Amino acid sequence: MKKIKYAWFVGAQHAGQDLVDDFIENGYWMNGYDDKYLDIVNEVKVGDLIAIKSTYTRKNNLPFNNNGKVVSVLGIKAIGTVTKNYLDGKTIDVEWQQFNHVREWYIFSLWNTIQKIEADKDWIYESLLQFTFDNQSQDFNRFLSDPKYSSKFDINATVTSHSINVTPLTEDEYTTDDFLREVFLNKLEASKLVRLLERKKNVILQGAPGVGKTFMAKRLAYLLIGKKAIDNIEMVQFHQSYSYEDFIQGYRPSDEGFELVEGPFIRFCQKAAADPQHRYIFIIDEINRGNLSKIFGELMMLIETDKRGESLQLVYGETPFSVPDNVFIIGMMNTADRSLAMLDYALRRRFAFYHVKPAFHLQSFKQHLLNQKVDDQLVDHIISKFQELNKKVKADPQLGDGFCIGHSYFCHYDNSEEWFQEIIEYEIEPLLKEYWFDQIDMAQKAVKELLIND
């Protein structure tokens, strides 16, 4: 095997667009800057090896124990040989070889648009060249025994795979039928919800407590992707102290002062931009608990459907940022929380709203309880009593449809005699007393009507 002395690693993101397919199809690579990297591009020689890379981060599904720490990932999308340099600092011709899937190198990454990697400069560079061009495995143990990396990530060199070309985790196909088996919607409503998300790209599932908004959001993400691709989904929860610096980016203390740290949404969008052929779903629980204008900042514009792919300079950092077209946002909102302000109109018009309703009236919910071996009479009791209760809640001018009790309280049967009694006493009763806090007698009467009379 001939030793590789050096090679060029280049990016393919130009103003938020991924040009990998165009580069490969037309046999070239282009520097997206008019005022940067020109001299470096001119150094590239005919016959030099070159690789298209993307850089992102990951926290889950890694082939070693990362102890929950975020790890840098270098995705190698294609390799090739330079056939011509136009010496304009911009364009070179390349004979490309595309991989069937992105090959991922972990822990050490390259962030510049173009960078020369020389084997004799560092053992890491030599290993990266062998991995990229000779299909050799990454030596995780060597990386993770290096104090620089073991201390930075606080990770142990416990390798779960000896090859970087690990077979991806099996991702089961997820169809409309799968969705309907798990979520209490009919086929028409499921199709409507998917179309809504595909058209608007940003949807908020709103509803009362216990209607299964979080459960539905995850299954809706699976359905939109077409499989249970957990790596294509990320979830955060907003709260009153959540900020732009937490969500987008901000400065954090480091050993050398302060460093700019990217938040989960920036990292997720970078990951999605590096894989434009697949859909990525970002889920926000309790979306109306945060100060949304403060959290989203200038991204309020970039998440709009017709603004996807457009770049904007962020408050911090020098690189323009855009939200890729393959990113979808699903928010969840509890309509029964009186302590929360409604969403402002600026954000409201950027989302479509889907009201998730209790499913006590659906045959699929009844069948779900029967399949769990809940007693027939108890199933009928739950369905009839909670439909009656929700009619009263809807009719109350101080409450209304958004305060109806959801069905998910009863979705998990534990096969005990106390199951129903405990749900009523410790989950439903406190909620009703909060609803009718100034009419405790009404709340107590409602609870009494829910219980089974011996």
Three-class secondary structure of residue 105 per DSSP: strand
Each residue of 2-47: pLDDT tens digit?
A: 688 999 999 988 766 778 888 998 999 999 888 888 999 999 999 9
Q: Which backbone phi and psi does 276 adopt, to 5 degrees?
A: -70, -15
Query: Tell me, what's the pLDDT at 249?
Result: 87
Query: Tell me, what's the pLDDT at 156?
Result: 45
Three-class secondary structure of residue 59 per DSSP: coil
Q: Which of 10-24, 98-112, 147-161 has the lowest mean pLDDT?
A: 147-161
d(CA 328, CA 305): 10
- Over 80: is that where the pLDDT of 153 sits? no
Residue entry with tokens 């889950």 = 60
Written as six digits, the tokens of 145 are: 């025994």
Three-class secondary structure of residue 17 per DSSP: strand
Whether 97 and 67 have beta carbons less than 8 Å apart is answered as no
HSE toward the beta carbon, residue 439, CA cutoff 13 A: 11
Nearest to 142 by CA among 122, 157, 125: 157
CATH of domain 176-355: 3.40.50.300
Nearest to 209 by CA among 381, 423, 370, 362: 423
- Helix, strand, coil % in the chain, rounded to nearest 5: 40, 25, 40
Q: Is 402 exposed, middle or buried (0-12, 13-18, 19+ CB in 10 A)?
A: middle
Q: Which amino acid is at 236?
A: V
Q: pTM, whole model, 2 decimals?
A: 0.63
338 CB neighbour count, 10 Å cutoff: 10
C-alpha distances in angstroms, 244 versus 133, 334, 340, 406?
Answer: 40, 22, 19, 33
Nearest to 90 by CA among 10, 5, 6, 7: 10
Q: Which backbone phi and psi does 48 adopt, to 5 degrees?
A: -70, 150
- Over 70: is that where the pLDDT of 451 sits? yes
Q: Which amino acid is at 149?
A: Y
Query: Tell me, what's the pLDDT at 2?
Result: 65
- Over 70: is that where the pLDDT of 297 sits? yes
Average pLDDT of every residue of the chain: 85
Domain boundaries, the chain: 6-153, 176-355, 368-450
Whether 153 and 69 have beta carbons less than 8 Å apart is answered as yes
Each residue of 399-444: pLDDT tens digit?
A: 888 899 999 888 888 777 788 999 999 999 999 998 998 899 998 9
